[in-house]
Chain A
Amino acid sequence: ETGVTQTPRHLVMGMTNKKSLKCEQHLGHNAMYWYKQSAKKPLELMFVYNFKEQTENNSVPSRFSPECPNSSHLFLHLHTLQPEDSALYLCASSQGEEVNTEAFFGQGTRLTVV
């Protein structure tokens, strides 16, 4: 148990569906992240929120839409995804205002787009 909880753990969706991934952290952290892990590839940073403000968007397609209503919750809204978007989506959190601290990850959501 890392203190970062993601739901759902598994998701299968059609290309015309709209779904949302949820992440919640109980660590009092100020920074939250979405990462994408595809097979045999590095973890790809998608979005960063620090103190609820989006500070990074790594050229992610608009079919992925993040939302951070408060420092403890992070969502990733999905719509009109493509099969190549199938991957493990990981949420993480860290202190944020301090540099050089480790990030704590959730267990991930395994997404399959059919």
Chain B
Amino acid sequence: DQQVKQNSPSLSVQEGRISILNCDYTNSMFDYFLWYKKYPAEGPTFLISISSIKDKNEDGRFTVFLNKSAKHLSLHIVPSQPGDSAVYFCAASENDYKLSFGAGTTVTVRA
């Protein structure tokens, strides 16, 4: 049973515009959420995280928003750059060190 869902398999955005990636989860016990970025032939790399006690966390061009009542989080990238073209995974954990991942969203930034 998939507890973390990324319903958009792909996203295409023009350079300089905002990329918005969405993630939904079903386990209300999740209390820590992460986004990972993955280039082809490489492992995922940690991008940004948010604890359930917050609703927003910002790091440079990346902002993660958490809506606990809707069990939804999103990642905003602004402005989008060509180097942002990658697969983005949403992940969540339930008060422990094990992560549940979504299926990923492939972002393509067009010049």
Give A residues with C-beta under 8 Å from B: 2, 4, 6, 31, 33, 35, 40-43, 45, 48, 50, 56, 90, 92, 94-96, 98-108, 110
15 residue pairs bridging A and B, Cβ less than 8 Å apart: A2-B43, A4-B43, A40-B9, A40-B103, A40-B104, A42-B2, A42-B103, A43-B101, A45-B99, A90-B43, A102-B34, A103-B46, A103-B97, A104-B46, A108-B42
Kindly specify which of B14-22, B59-67, B71-79, B88-96 makes contact with the partner chain: B88-96
A46 to chain B, nearest CB (A): 11
A-B Cβ contacts below 8 A, count: 67
Residues in A whose Cβ lies below 8 Å from that of B101:
35, 42-43
Give B residues with C-beta under 8 Å from A: 2, 4, 9, 31-32, 34, 36, 41-46, 49, 51, 89, 93, 95-104
Residues in B whose Cβ lies below 8 Å from that of A56:
98
Q: Do A102 and B42 form a contact, CB below 8 Å, given A42-B2, A43-B89, A45-B99?
A: no
A95 and chain B: residue at smallest CB distance: B97
- With the chains together, A95 CA to B93 CA distance in Å? 14
Residues in A whose Cβ lies below 8 Å from that of B100:
42, 45
Q: List 14 extra interface pairs beyond A99-B93, A100-B51, CB under 8 A.
A: A2-B45, A33-B98, A40-B104, A42-B101, A42-B102, A42-B104, A43-B101, A45-B98, A45-B99, A48-B98, A95-B97, A98-B97, A105-B45, A107-B43
B85 to chain A, nearest CB (A): 18
Residues in A whose Cβ lies below 8 Å from that of B9:
40
B32 and chain A: residue at smallest CB distance: A100
A107 and chain B: residue at smallest CB distance: B43
Q: Do A105 and B44 form a contact, CB below 8 Å, given A40-B9, A41-B103, A42-B2?
A: yes
* Contact residue among A33, A42, A102, A108 (Cβ-Cβ distance under 8 Å from B46): A102
